[in-house]
Structure 1
Amino acid sequence: MRRREHCGARQRTPFSQTRIHGKPSILSETLKTAVIGVGYLGRFHAQKYAALPEAELVAVADPNRGQAERVAEECGTRAVTDYRELLGAVDAVSVVVPTQLHHAVARDCLSHGIHVMLEKPMTTTVAEADELIALARERNLVLQIGHLERFNAAVLALNGVLDTPRFIESHRLAAFNPRGADVNVVLDLMIHDIDIIQTLVRSPIDKIDANGVSVLTAEIDIANARLHFENGCVANVTASRVSMKPQRKMRVFQNDAYISIDFQDKILSVHRKGEREIFPGIPEITSQESLFESSDAIRDEIAAFLDAIRRDISPPVTGEDGRLALQTAIRISELLASAPS
């Protein structure tokens, strides 16, 4: 038996949020914001801040003056080439700079009392991530990590569907884009699925097996990792940035159910063991497919960041979440680097 339904874009919170600081909320205030790094992705961040009524986009910062001025004109704000001009002048920032600069820029902002929305991967080392988490906690600031797939409508709909995942398989395939080639495919693409999987399984990783190869860059461009969790769940994760046909899919198997998530087309399919048998010993399989309307995940991500600041609650994707995904991605990367070529 199969059912299909069309669903509107969901505005549910990606998993759970809690009050973190005990300070009074500032729901009535407009937050002064800025974007540091306005290349391909940072430009979208600037557009969202400019459009959200709860934010005032004070400035955009980029060492490329021409790019900064183009985005500033488009968003009706001012451009600076040195982000340090903004320290002390804004309440919150998106940091969308190359990965190697994440730690230094985010640390400067947090040290000056600025809430930070930090793109993934969070940093290049776990020690750097720990420093940012500690600094945000010490200053009572929101530190949100940009794991955008958490805001995918099909992922949000998993709440209430999943029970205890036993086996997970994911494929994230993309055409080559030099924009992400400063890191390997694990930190560029696979980390999205690592974050989702670890959030769903909620168990420490016991063992990792991994293999991968470089194809177009000096870094690993296609990789597969097998994650063995302490609770018995196993996840088989594949990521490639040298594919002709893009694909972003995950399948989750649990007792009596199989769940399929198509991140790209925003489709959630749930197949369950029915109560009756179609033949002796052969159960009926019931299927329900939910198609979600397209939503603006970057807008939702930034709106959630601002909401966490205004209501003094933990963000949907915390620094600890970003650290956990980074730690696993680094473990996989180290295995790949140590493998015989």
Structure 2
Amino acid sequence: MTESKVLRGGVIGAGVFGGYHARQYAKQDGAVLSAVLDPHPERAAKVAVPLGGRAFHDMASFLDAVDVVTIASPATVHAQHALAAIEAGKSIYVEKPLAVSLVDAEKIRAAAAARNLVVACGHQERVVFRAMGLLDVPEQPLRLEALRHGPPSERSQDVSAVLDLMVHDIDLALALTTARPQPARVSAEGGWNDIRAEVGFDDGFTAVFDVSRQAPARERTMRVVFPSGEVEIDFLARTFRNTTPFELNPDFADTPAGRDPLGASVHSFLMAVSGHAPRPVVTADEAIGALQVAVAVEESAKATV
């Protein structure tokens, strides 16, 4: 890509997240919102037209109209849409999870690598950790406890709470440690909408994840235990308590990345595509690592039923 190249962004899926991504393309330097694809043309038009884009319901025509693709369709068809875009030579940004099976995720990684295309995954909360300074802490964590609860919603009911909610915190846990993503032990219990898991890794790091899509109110907290102290985060209040000797940024929420993590994540994807950055915020390898743990949690929970 040359510096003067304006990337035509395309979004598959005209739901809530599709709208978020369409607006990102419309406001990013070096990109425009060119097209939105959805099985319902009226929904696609509602998202695309106010932003200067066009609505499509045919995949081939849509792919001809774009340079890069964001996949914000239901998770169960992420792989289908990702592989179609890659086959057409388009770099992709896939909302989490990358796919719902490891087999499909590996297909995405292999197909993109064969064509030298960028794959980014929408675990944009890593941007928040970077803004806080947590990813620069020079100690390996001993333990992480994450709680992510919310009231019932019709969104993302095509996948379990593990792939909808827990996978976020799994990715954050893996971002903090050098442990291999293959868990050494997994213990999980719960069902489709509520599940609690304890995951142990080969370096001794333990992560506890508690998610619910049937809670009376939203609650999102995390406690990270390091050898020298602890960090307790309230994601909703956007505050933290730090007893480690390492300096973290208490004003992270007021930084550009803290104010707009999705924008920072999309920007990094576009920079990687244009050759101005070595990688996006979350790569295919990292997304597959999070999926590996998520699948292991789902399998463990099924075994206890």
Letter matched to residue 210 of structure 2: T
1:302 to 262, 266, 270: 266
State yes or no: 1:260 paired with 2:232. Answer: yes
Secondary structure at the aligned position of 2:4 is classed as coil
* Letter in structure 2 aligned against 1:92: V
Q: Does 1:208 align with 2:172?
A: no
Compared CA separation, residues 111 and 164, structure 1 to 2 (3 A): same
Q: Deviations 1:112-171 (Å, cap 9, x if unpaired)?
A: 110100111111110111111011111010000111211226765213335110111111
1:290 and 2:250 correspond: yes
Q: Distance in 2 between matches of 1:320 and 1:154?
A: 19
1:290 aligned counterpart, secondary structure: coil
In the TM superposition, 1:116-265 aligns within 5 A as 116-152=92-128, 156-204=132-180, 205-213=183-191, 220-265=192-237
**What TM-score, normalized to structure 2?**
0.92
Distance 1:234 1:57 in 2: 42
Q: Work out whether residues 162 and 294 of structure 2, in 8 Å CA contact, stay in contact via their aligned partners in 1.
A: yes
> Hey, which of these two has a bigger chunk of strand by percent?
1
Any stretches of 5+ residues in structure 2 without a counterpart?
none
2:77 to 86, 101, 105: 101
- Provide the rounded CA distance (Å) in 2 between the counterparts of 1:108 and 1:288: 42
Q: Residues 63 and 94 from structure 1, CA distance in 2 versus in 1: closer, same or farther, beyond 3 angstroms?
A: same
Counterpart-to-counterpart distance in 1, 2:27 and 2:281: 21
2:31 counterpart letter in structure 1? A
Q: Deviations over 1:2-24 (max 9, x none)?
A: xxxxxxxxxxxxxxxxxxxxxxx
Matched pairs, number: 298
Aligned-pair Cα RMSD in Å: 1.9
TM-score, structure 1 length as denominator?
0.83
The answer to whether the Cα contact below 8 Å between 1:153 and 1:295 also exists between their aligned partners in 2 is no
Choose 1 or 2 for highest CA Rg: 1
**Looking at both structures, which has the greater relative contact order when contacts are Cα pairs under 8 Å and sequence separation is at least 6?**
1
For 1:50-65, list aligned pairs within 5 A. Answer: 50-65=26-41
- Percent sequence identity over aligned pairs: 31
Shift of residue 84 of structure 1?
2.3
**Distance in 2 of aligned mates of 1:225 and 1:289:** 30
Kindly indicate whether the alpha-carbon contact (under 8 Å) linking 1:212 and 1:222 is maintained by their aligned counterparts in 2.
yes
**Equivalent-residue separation in structure 2 for 1:226 and 1:29 (angstroms):** 47
**Structure with greater proportional helix content:** 2
| SS of residue paired to 1:178 | coil
Q: Is the 8 A contact 1:37 1:62 kept in 2?
A: yes
2:136 match: secondary structure: coil
Partner of 1:337: 302
Q: Name 1:68's counterpart in structure 2.
A: 44
Q: Deviations over 1:223-263 (max 9, x none)?
A: 11101111111111111111122122111111121112222
